[in-house]
C-alpha cells in the first residue's frame, strides 16, 4: 500500500473520521505550505529553525529517516491560534488537530521533497494538487486552500 493509499484509507482515522475531515486536514496543510504570508515552505522551515526544530523538518525534506514531531511541537511552531483555527474548521479539539498535523505533516513534506530539497512554488503547487487528486479522485474537486488560516 502506497503513501497516498494510506492517507486516503484512513491514516488519521484514530483522530478524524471520514474523507471530509481528512480533506480538511490536507487543506490546512496545503494552506500552510502555500501561504505567502508565512513565506510558504521556506518560511515554515525558517520558523522551525527559529523554534529549534529545524532538524526535524530538515529530516522530512531530506532523503533519510523522518524524525517525529509531537503535537506540542506542532503547536509551538504553528502557534496555538493557528491550531485553534484549524481545529474549529475541522470540528475537533485543538489537541486532536495538533495530533493530526503531527501525524500528517511529516509525510506530506517527505513526499513533496523526494530529491531532498524544497520544491519551487510551482512544483509545490503541482505536488499538492497531485496529493489532493489521489485523495479525492481526479473527478472530485480538491479542497480549496484558504490563505487566511495562517
Residue 70 Cα to chain centre, angstroms: 14
In a domain, 119, yes or no: yes
In sequence order, what DSSP letters do the residues of 91-148 get, joined into one string? TS-HHHHHHHHHHHHHHHHHHH-TTSSPPPHHHHHHHHHHHHHHHH-SSSPPPPP-GG
Mean pLDDT over each residue of the chain, to the nearest integer: 75
In a domain, 2, yes or no: no
In a domain, 102, yes or no: yes
In a domain, 3, yes or no: no
Write the pLDDT tens digit of every residue in 28-52.
888 888 776 778 888 888 999 999 9
How many domains does the chain divide into? 1
In a domain, 72, yes or no: yes
Write the pLDDT tens digit of every residue in 60-84.
998 889 999 999 999 999 999 999 9
Q: What percent of the chain has pLDDT over 70?
A: 63
In a domain, 13, yes or no: no
Angle at which helix 121-136 crosses helix 3-10, to 10 degrees, equals 50
In a domain, 130, yes or no: yes
CATH number reported for the structural domain that contains residue 50 in this entry: 1.10.10.690
Q: How far apart are CA 123 and CA 91, in angstroms?
A: 31
In sequence order, what DSSP letters do the residues of 30-96 get, joined into one string? HHHHH-TTTTHHHHHHHHHHHTT-HHHHHHHHSSSPPPP--HHHHHHHH-HHHHHHHHHHHTS-HHH
Domain of 120? 28-149
The angle formed by the CA atoms of residues 84, 87 and 89, to the nearest 5 degrees, is 110
Amino acid at each position: 500500500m502506497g503513501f497516498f493509499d494510506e492517507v486516503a484509507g484512513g491514516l488519521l482515522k484514530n483522530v478524524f473520521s471520514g474523507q471530509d475531515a481528512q480533506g480538511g486536514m490536507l487543506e490546512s496543510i496545503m494552506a500552510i505550505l502555500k501561504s505567502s504570508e508565512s513565506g510558504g515552505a521556506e518560511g515554515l522551515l525558517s520558523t522551525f529553525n527559529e523554534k529549534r526544530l529545524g532538524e526535524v523538518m530538515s529530516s522530512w525534506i531530506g532523503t533519510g529517516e523522518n524524525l517525529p514531531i509531537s503535537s506540542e511541537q506542532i503547536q509551538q511552531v504553528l502557534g496555538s491560534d493557528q491550531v485553534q483555527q484549524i481545529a474549529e474548521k475541522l470540528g475537533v479539539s485543538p489537541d486532536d488537530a495538533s495530533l493530526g498535523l503531527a501525524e500528517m505533516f511529516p509525510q506530506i513534506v517527505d513526499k513533496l521533497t523526494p530529491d531532498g530539497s524544497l520544491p519551487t512554488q510551482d512544483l509545490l503547487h503541482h505536488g499538492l494538487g497531485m496529493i489532493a487528486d489521489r485523495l479525492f479522485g481526479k473527478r472530485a474537486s480538491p479542497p480549496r486552500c484558504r490563505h487566511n488560516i495562517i
